[in-house]
C-alpha cells in the first residue's frame, strides 16, 4: 500500500474541474489530464475518521441485451480504522431474449485494505485479484456458485465531468459524498466472462465514475445514459446524460432533495446545477423509479426512469458508522428525457440507462444479492 503524507481531505479543483492530491508528489505531473487526476484516491492509510470511496465502470452492449458493472471500493470504519477493507464488486445483467430468461449475477470479494496497492499518476487501484487503471480493468471474483471475470480497455477524455457547480462543495463537509465522472462517455473493448460464458465486448457504450466521502448520502437517485435510440435522438450524434438527486441528513433532520445534472449533445454541454435546479421540488424517487424536472439557465430538463425487478441487483452498502444503505442497481433501465434549450427541443429514449436508487428503507421488496 502506498503511504501518503497528506491529510484525508478534498483538494481544491483545477480549472479542468478537478484536482486530486498526488501521493507524495511535491509538484504536479503536467502530463496528466484532468480526467486522470479526477481518479486519484482520497483514502489515506492510517488516517482517522470514517471514509468510503469507489471507482466504478459500467458498459452496455450495442444490441441492448447485456450490461456490466465493476466497482472498486475502500471502506474505513469510523471507530475501527484498522479494520479498513478493499472491495471489488461485479454485476452481469442480461435481458430476456430468444427465449432466455433475464439474468442478474452480483458478486463481491473483500480483502484488508493493507493489501490494496494504489498509484495516483498513472492512476491504478489493485488487489491480488482485480485492478482498475485509467483506461483498463482486469479481474476475477467468485463465490460458491458463480465466477465473473473481465479484461477491458477504454479510451479516456482529457477532461472529467464535475457534477457539483461550486469548487467549495468538494472541500466542505456537506455534501458528505463527493462525486466526479472522470470518463463520462467512451467505448469499451475486451471480454467479460459469466460462469465460463464469454461476452465479447466490442464497442460497448461505457462510462467510469468516482465518488468518496465520510459516508453515503442519506438517500439518492442517480442515472447515467449514453446509449440512446437513434430514432428518438435525431440530429444528435453523441449524447450522454447524468443526473443526481440526493437527500442530506443533519442530525435528526433530513433535507429535501437536492439535484444536479447535465446533458451533453455533441460538443455542447447543458448544465442544470444552479439554485433552481438544486432546489427543485419536482423530484420523485421510488425503489424502481426516478423522475425529475430541472430548470436551468439555458432551458428545462424533464426525465423519468424505471427498471423492471428482473433487471435490478439489490446491494447493501455499509457506511463507516456501521449503518446500511440499500442500492437498487440496474444498468438496463428504461428512460425518457426531454430537453428544451436555446430555442430547440430534443427527446431521448433508451432501455440501457444506468439507474441507481439508494435508500435507508429495507422494506423495498427487492432481493439484496450481496
pLDDT, tens digit (0-9, with 9 covering 90-100), for 118-164 = 998 889 999 999 999 999 999 999 999 999 999 999 999 999 999 99
Nearest by Cα to 314 from 333, 331, 327, 332: 327
In the predicted model, what is the mean pLDDT of the chain? 90
Q: Say what the pLDDT of residue 233 is.
A: 54
Question: Which of 16-25, 48-57, 123-132, 337-346 shows the lowest per-residue confidence on average (mean pLDDT)?
Answer: 16-25
Q: Say what the pLDDT of residue 121 is.
A: 87
pLDDT of 328 above 50: yes
352 or 176, which is more confident: 352
Q: Say what the pLDDT of residue 96 is.
A: 86
**Structure confidence at residue 264 as a pLDDT band (50, 70, 90):** very high
Segment 188-194 shows an average pLDDT of: 98
**β-pairing, 344-359 with 313-318?**
unpaired
Q: Identify whether the C-beta of residue 359 lies closer than 8 Å to the C-beta of residue 326.
A: yes
> What sign for the dihedral angle of Cα 159, 163, 168, 171?
negative
What predicted TM-score, i.e. pTM, was given to this entire model?
0.90
29 or 244, which is more confident: 244
Q: Say what the pLDDT of residue 1 is.
A: 34
Q: Say what the pLDDT of residue 235 is.
A: 58
Segment 45-71 shows an average pLDDT of: 96
pLDDT of 324 above 60: yes
Grouping H, G, I as helix, E, B as strand and the rest as coil, residue 115 is: helix
201 or 24, which is more confident: 201
How far apart (Å, rounded) are the C-alpha atoms in residues 330 and 30? 38
Cis peptide bond N-terminal to 175, omega within 30:
yes
Q: Say what the pLDDT of residue 231 is.
A: 55
**Structure confidence at residue 31 as a pLDDT band (50, 70, 90):** confident
Q: Say what the pLDDT of residue 6 is.
A: 29
- 82-121 pLDDT, tens per residue? 999 999 999 999 998 777 788 999 999 999 999 999 998 8
Q: Say what the pLDDT of residue 230 is.
A: 72
> What sign for the dihedral angle of Cα 51, 280, 299, 307?
positive
Who contacts 308 (Cβ-Cβ below 8 Å, separation ≥6)? 102, 288, 330
Segment 248-254 shows an average pLDDT of: 91
Q: For the chain, how many helices (H) and strands (E)?
A: 2, 23
Q: Say what the pLDDT of residue 30 is.
A: 54
pLDDT of 298 above 90: no
Amino acid at each position: 500500500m502506498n503511504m501518503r503524507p497528506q491529510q484525508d481531505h478534498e483538494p481544491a479543483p483545477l480549472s479542468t474541474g478537478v484536482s486530486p492530491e498526488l501521493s507524495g508528489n511535491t509538484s504536479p505531473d503536467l502530463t496528466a489530464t484532468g480526467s486522470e487526476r479526477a481518479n486519484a484516491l482520497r483514502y489515506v492509510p492510517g488516517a482517522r475518521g470514517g471514509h468510503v470511496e469507489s471507482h466504478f465502470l459500467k458498459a452496455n452492449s450495442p444490441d441492448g441485451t447485456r450490461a456490466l458493472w465493476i466497482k472498486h471500493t475502500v471502506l474505513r470504519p469510523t471507530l475501527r480504522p484498522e479494520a479498513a477493507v478493499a472491495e471489488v464488486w461485479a454485476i452481469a445483467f442480461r435481458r430476456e431474449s430468444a427465449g432466455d430468461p433475464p439474468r442478474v449475477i452480483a458478486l463481491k470479494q473483500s480483502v484488508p485494505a493493507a493489501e490494496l496497492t494504489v498509484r495516483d499518476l498513472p492512476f491504478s487501484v489493485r488487489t491480488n485479484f482485480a485492478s482498475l487503471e485509467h483506461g483498463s480493468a482486469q479481474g476475477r471474483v467468485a463465490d460458491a456458485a458463480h465466477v465473473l471475470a473481465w479484461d477491458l480497455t477504454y479510451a479516456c477524455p482529457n477532461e472529467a465531468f464535475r457534477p457539483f457547480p461550486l469548487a467549495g462543495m468538494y472541500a466542505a463537509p456537506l455534501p458528505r459524498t463527493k462525486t466526479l465522472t472522470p470518463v463520462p462517455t467512451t467505448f469499451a473493448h475486451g471480454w467479460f466472462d459469466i460462469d465460463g460464458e464469454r461476452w465479447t465486448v466490442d464497442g460497448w457504450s461505457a462510462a467510469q465514475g468516482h465518488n468518496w466521502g465520510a459516508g453515503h448520502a442519506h438517500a439518492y437517485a442517480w442515472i447515467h445514459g449514453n446509449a440512446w435510440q437513434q430514432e428518438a435522438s435525431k440530429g444528435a450524434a453523441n449524447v450522454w446524460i447524468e443526473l443526481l438527486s440526493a437527500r442530506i441528513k443533519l442530525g435528526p433532520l433530513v433535507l429535501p432533495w437536492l439535484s444536479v445534472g447535465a446533458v451533453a449533445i455533441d460538443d455542447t454541454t447543458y448544465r442544470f446545477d444552479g439554485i433552481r435546479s438544486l432546489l427543485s421540488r419536482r423530484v420523485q424517487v421510488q425503489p424502481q423509479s426516478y423522475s425529475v424536472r430541472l430548470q436551468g439557465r439555458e432551458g428545462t430538463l424533464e426525465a423519468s426512469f424505471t427498471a423492471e425487478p428482473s433487471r435490478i441487483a439489490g446491494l447493501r452498502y455499509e457506511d463507516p458508522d456501521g449503518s446500511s444503505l440499500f442500492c437498487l442497481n440496474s444498468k438496463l433501465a428504461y428512460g425518457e428525457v426531454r430537453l428544451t434549450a436555446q430555442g430547440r427541443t430534443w427527446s431521448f429514449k433508451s432501455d440501457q440507462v444506468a439507474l441507481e436508487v439508494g435508500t435507508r428503507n429495507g422494506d423495498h421488496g427487492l432481493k439484496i444479492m450481496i
